[in-house]
Structure 1
Amino acid sequence: MNIKLQTNTEDPKLEFLIIEKYDDQSGFGSTISVVSNGFSSKVFATFEQWPMSEFISQLQVCNNYLSGSATLKPQWDNWFITFTVKPNGHVVVNGLLCAYEQELKFEFTTDQTCLNSLIKDFQLWGN
């Protein structure tokens, strides 16, 4: 399964590729791919069940109230991805992806119409 943020462009782009939910219920793994203003990164990342559940809940609140933020960050790693929903309908996506001796800090703006399908896809993955 892959999850793609529907920005309707090739830049910016955020995707979770080759998603895996571990059989022992310890969490998830995925290659996170980001393209932002010409910079790009693909990083394999793992994270626990709780951060994923919390992230989905936060995204749902943001979508319902068209404001707020939701952050996906594992308990033991430094990488993160944050969605901040602005009252004007814009969604600012920013984060930090880390790989051995490399980091990519990114930020781009899309709109809230992408949230419904993203939340549904994350719910399918998380269950």
Structure 2
Amino acid sequence: MDIILATHCEIPALAFRDWRKFGDASGYVASLDVRTDWIAAERDFYFEVEPLQKFIDALEAIDRTLVGTARLKPLWEEPFVEISGNGRGEILVSGLMIENGHRTQQVRFAFETDQTCLAPLIASLKAAA
């Protein structure tokens, strides 16, 4: 299953591709695919059930009020996706992708969209959860 943030244009884009639930139902993995003006990155993104539910709850609050921040990140690791509303209908999408290993690599990204992207994203996340 793919969950795509509908930004009304090809770039910028954020998608959780090939969303899968762990066999023990403790969490999820998806390939986080990000495209901004000049950044293009794709990396497996792992997170647990509890952070996903908090993310969905916070997104619903932003959708109602247009203010606030929703962050999806694993309990014990640094990578994250964050969606913030400024109260004027503008939505900031940002995050950090990390590959730890012999050579640690990081990608920080950010782009703006509008509040119309929230309801479809929330519906897709609820269906996947």
TM-score in terms of structure 1 length:
0.96
- Secondary structure of 1:70's counterpart equals strand
Contact 1:11 1:38 in 2 (8 A): no
Whether 1:4 and 2:4 are equivalent positions in the alignment is: yes
Equivalent residue letter for 1:110: T
Contact 1:98 1:104 in 2 (8 A): yes
Quick one: percent identity of the two aligned structures?
Answer: 33
Runs of 4+ off more than 3 Å: none
The corresponding residue for 2:23 is 23
- Secondary structure of 1:10's counterpart equals coil
Give distance in 1, aligned partners of 2:105 and 2:36: 16
Equivalent residue letter for 1:122: L
- Secondary structure of 2:11's counterpart equals coil
Contact 1:81 1:93 in 2 (8 A): yes
- Structure 1: which 5+ runs fail to align? none
Equivalent residue letter for 1:9: C
Whether 1:59 and 2:59 are equivalent positions in the alignment is: yes
Pairwise CA distance, 1:23: 2.9
Q: Which moved more, 1:98-107 or 1:42-51?
A: 98-107
Equivalent residue letter for 1:45: F
TM-score in terms of structure 2 length:
0.94
- In the TM superposition, 1:18-97 aligns within 5 A as 18-97=18-97
